[in-house]
Amino acid sequence: MPVSVGVPNEVTQGERRVALTPDVAARLIKKGCQIVVERGAGLAASFVDAAYQATGCTLGDRSAALSADVVATVGGVADDDLAVLKSGGVLLGMLNPLDDPETVERLASCGAMVIAMEMVPRITRAQKMDALSAMSTVAGYKAVLMAADVLPKFFPLLTTAAGTVRPAKVLILGAGVAGLQALATARRLGGVTSAYDIRPAAREQVESVGAAFIELELDTADSEDKGGYAKALEEDKQKRQIELLAEHIAQQDVVITTALIPGRPAPLLITKEGVEGMRPGSVIVDLAAPNGGNCALTQKGETVSHNGVSIIGPMNLPAEMPLHASQMYARTVAALITEYLTEDGFALNFDDEIVQGAVVAHGGEVTNERVKGKLAEAA
């Protein structure tokens, strides 16, 4: 029996992405899936209903999309939707399970299997399903464009009849996927780029995109976990890191911070005094704003000014580039669905490493140990 995949409208305020785009939906249809798209689901990302119909999708109301075997979302569903979800069905999305475990608990109550796309483990076999990296790429790119728009200077070196304009200096704190994309984008715009990361292994990646790697007099040898994420520093090292970074930050026109540890508040990298050490007109874009920010003065979803320095705290940059962000996210969703399609439907093997990492609830209960640990901490 063919597997039905539902694509409802997103309910999160400001979310403009859609979980499946027409071209990606067509690939699943070729695999034997039936795709039901709620009318208007792709409009905010520039995908009209007719485009879905042209690829073989069925348009329907919200109930039709939510009652599919697999419901594909970007950011989950509302409380009112839970009663419509199929018991024993599948709900997947970017659900922020380690920072918002209560939402996972709420979703689990409907009896559906809940898959958090950002919990897909970073292993070779799962690279095509890595939604978190895909969206981090979008965020890193967009962050530089935001900074360039606010910065009262050119990014590139310019030689003009009115004299020479020196290039902007851009520092990226955190050289993960978002940070590396930010470095590459800033360099393409003509900026002089540098980066810092507590993981010594990041040096090669930073230099591969033409940036200078900043090395502090700080022991960070054991700074990376098994998943490739940075680990939290001890308190004394954290203080020393802030002090040493301040000297470099003061020389920059743009600083983009990307340091996040899943399930924990964002580490502080720039203090109020650090901001005050920057030149007026400088810009900070804090990609860690949803988790409190890497800058002490960051305000979630706001742009604030302190001593002439603009501090931008975006909450959902991928939603601001919805067309390509949707296409990239949809490919990871389709890759996951395709991986577990069988003649009998969508079937997951709970001995599979990907399934163990990504499935956060099943049978009406939260099943992921990391998420259960977060719930216990909050109790």
Q: Are strands 309-312 and 303-306 parallel, antiparallel or unpaired?
A: antiparallel
| DSSP state letter for 289 | G
Residues 246 and 355 in one domain: no
**Contact yes or no for 356/125 (Cβ under 8 A):** no
Residues 274 and 151 in one domain: yes
Whether the per-residue pLDDT at 184 is higher than 60: the answer is yes
Amino acid making up residue 7? V
User: Looking at 174-178, 192-196, 234-238, 337-341, which range is the least confident one?
Assistant: 234-238
- Label residue 218 by pLDDT band (50, 70, 90): confident
CATH number at residue 31: 3.40.50.720
Residues 161 and 257 in one domain: yes
Residue-level pLDDT at 234: 75
Tokens for 179, please give them. Answer: 């940070």
DSSP codes of every residue in 33-75:
-EEEEETTTTGGGT--HHHHHHTTPEEE-HHHHHTSSEEE-SS
Catalytic residues: 122, 127, 130, 133, 229
Query: Would residue 346 count as lying in a domain?
Result: yes
Query: Would residue 324 count as lying in a domain?
Result: no
Amino acid making up residue 332? T
Residues 115 and 141 in one domain: no
Domain range enclosing 279: 137-319
Average pLDDT over residues 122-129: 95
For 53-94, write each residue's pLDDT tens digit: 999 999 999 999 999 999 999 999 999 999 999 988 999 999
Q: What does the angle CA 325 – CA 112 – CA 331 come to, to the nearest 5 degrees?
A: 20
Residues 167 and 296 in one domain: yes
| DSSP state letter for 135 | H
Average pLDDT over residues 338-351: 91
Residues 260 and 196 in one domain: yes
Residues 194 and 104 in one domain: no
Residues 146 and 115 in one domain: no
Predicted TM-score (pTM) of this structure: 0.94
Whether the per-residue pLDDT at 233 is higher than 80: the answer is no
- Structural domains counted in the chain: 2
Residues 109 and 142 in one domain: no
Residue 84's beta-bridge partner residues?
Answer: none
Residues 236 and 300 in one domain: yes
Residue-level pLDDT at 217: 83
Average pLDDT over residues 303-311: 98
